[in-house]
Amino acid sequence: MLAVASGAYTAAVFLSADAARHGKHALADRFRARALAAGLGAGAVAIAGLVVLHFDAERIFRRLTEGVALPALVVSVIAGVATLGLVWQRRYELARYTAAVAVAATIAGWAVAQNPVFLHGLTIRQAAAGHDTLIAVVVAILAGALLLFPSLALLFRLTLGGELRGGEQSSGEAPVGFRPRKAASGRLDARLAVAFLVAGIGFLTVANTAWAHAIGVACLFGFILSGFQAALPADVVDTSRGR
């Protein structure tokens, strides 16, 4: 119930901002009413959830209300109340961020309160796969993120900036927000991507210390960033570097 209520609440806040940005104020007001109702509903469900935890999962309840997860619970409450106030005042853009923080803090609070237990009688460490399997999964996820995360970031930037609206462009016209790409820059990005990938896999597989694994993960994130730039079409590149 909390997941559904949080999803409806976050969606209504974001859609209110989208409608207001496009000048559809009547539609924004309709989503505003839904955001306020969903926010109050999510708060009520969260309070009811604490009551359930008190009787059915006393350890999690104690860690949420008195232990290490209390800061996340406080952040969630403050961000949730702030979101309702911002939506009430029709300050939708800022409400986007506070709504996301409220939901993220709720999830983080549950995770911290649950830690280190994964399931009843099973800890996270006991449930974890072997070292080699974990390394392979990390590498596979980050390699997939090379396409997914930067592409989503670019899509959201263009959508929220209004650059995807407006009419179709001629076939010879460059897309809005792009400029010709220099070949030298593309070659450098490709070399950096290969170097980051080799270094990341090396630090994660050869070394067996925490600091080496941290460097390996950082190198793989560098591979994502430089690899995304290298994978862009040869004739265009995002102008956000110059903005």
Peptide bond into 116 cis (omega under 30): yes
DSSP E strand boundaries for 25-181: 117-119, 122-123, 178-179
d(CA 193, CA 142): 12
The token duo for 208 is 């067996």
The token duo for 39 is 């926010």
Q: What is the pLDDT of residue 148?
A: 79
151 within 8 A of 191, measured Cβ to Cβ: no
Residue pLDDT, tens place only, 91-122: 988 898 899 898 888 888 888 888 888 777 78
Torsion of CA 119, 122, 125, 131, to 10 degrees: -90
What's the Cα-to-Cα distance from 136 to each of 140, 200, 214, rounded to whole Å?
Answer: 6, 12, 15
Per-residue pLDDT band for 186 (boundaries 50, 70, 90) equals: low
Q: How many CB atoms lie within 10 A of CB 17?
A: 23
Q: Which of 77-86, 167-176, 220-229 has the highest mean pLDDT?
A: 77-86
6 within 8 A of 84, measured Cβ to Cβ: no
| Residue 28, helix vs strand vs coil | helix
- pLDDT above 90 (res 33): yes
Q: What is the pLDDT of residue 84?
A: 92
* Residue 47: closest CA among 69, 25, 73, 22: 73
Residue pLDDT, tens place only, 34-66: 999 999 998 899 889 888 888 888 888 888 888
Q: pLDDT above 70 covers what percent of the chain?
A: 81
- pLDDT above 80 (res 152): no
Domain borders along the chain are 2-122, 131-163+176-242
What's the Cα-to-Cα distance from 76 to each of 64, 104, 120, 127, rounded to whole Å?
Answer: 12, 8, 26, 29
**Backbone angles phi and psi of 178, in degrees to 5:** -130, 155
Q: What is the pLDDT of residue 32?
A: 92
Q: What is the pLDDT of residue 82?
A: 93
Q: Report the b/e string of 96-113 with b at 16+ CB within 10 A.
A: bebbebbbebbebbbebb
Q: What is the pLDDT of residue 166?
A: 52
